[in-house]
Amino acid sequence: FTSAAARAAIEAEFERPVTEIFEHFEDTPVAAASIAQVHFAKVRDDEVPNGREVAVKVLRPGIERAVARDLDLFRWIAEVVESTQPRLRRLKPVVAVETFAESLRWEMDLRMEGAAASELHGNFDDDPMYVVPHVDWERTGRRVLTTEWISGIPVHSVDELVATGHDLEAIVAKASESFFLQVFRDGFFHADMHPGNAFVRNDGALCVVDFGIMGRIDRRTRYFLADMLLGFVTRDYAR
């Protein structure tokens, strides 16, 4: 969507001109997806402790109406399937749609994403090689999320990673270790870990972004998953 729409959304959220909120706001988005898009911006040196470059995520105008319309259609289809296709009832299509709807409700309040980023950041606060950006709460609201800017090479740019001397095995090991810690130690994990959401910094640190979809696992389920995984890697299929 247009930079004018993005600026209007920011000004409506904070009731101030964009020029008062950011020292510089880049009109061309650096990323865009189905629910929001991201702009590069700068704040004044004396306003933030972690650098002046920030990423500003803005919800699409009218996205709530569009999602509500689509969910109504999904619910109707699911109800038709359950009433006319008995063999598919075991898949619980209505429950699946409601689960999806609940996830979307959380995703469309960017304060929830900010809270998720802060929690994940705290869980890895003592690990300098797994980087979660700080949230700028002064510039974050329901429709706008501002975080520390992350610079790095996308993990899917393998040739560039090799050309700059990064150890691919170390990157894979770090990605695996961090995810296992999230699942089994914390029970709170990044649930949208596609290649576009992970970057490798110059020092080899793995940096992650986009915390709109997170997962939680209780202790009992963690033990169950660990036991199942152990049986798989040891080929003890009876276990």
**Positions marked active-site:** 192
CB contact at 8 A, 211 and 197: no
The whole-angstrom separation of Cα 113 and Cα 120 is 11
DSSP 4-18: HHHHHHHHHHHTS-H
Give the torsion sign (CA, 92, 94, 98, 104).
positive
Q: Within 88-133, where are the H helices? A: 93-107, 110-123
Q: Which whole-number Å values give the CA distances from 130 to 88, 192, 200, in the listed order?
A: 42, 16, 10
Enumerate residues 6+ apart whose C-beta is below 8 A from 147.
54, 55, 57, 114, 117, 133, 134, 135, 136, 209
Place of tokens 């729409």: 5
Inter-residue long-range contacts of 34-37, CB under 8 Å, 24+ positions, other chains counted: 34/60, 35/59, 35/60, 35/63, 35/67, 35/107, 35/108, 35/212, 36/60, 36/63, 36/110, 37/1, 37/6
DSSP state of 76: H
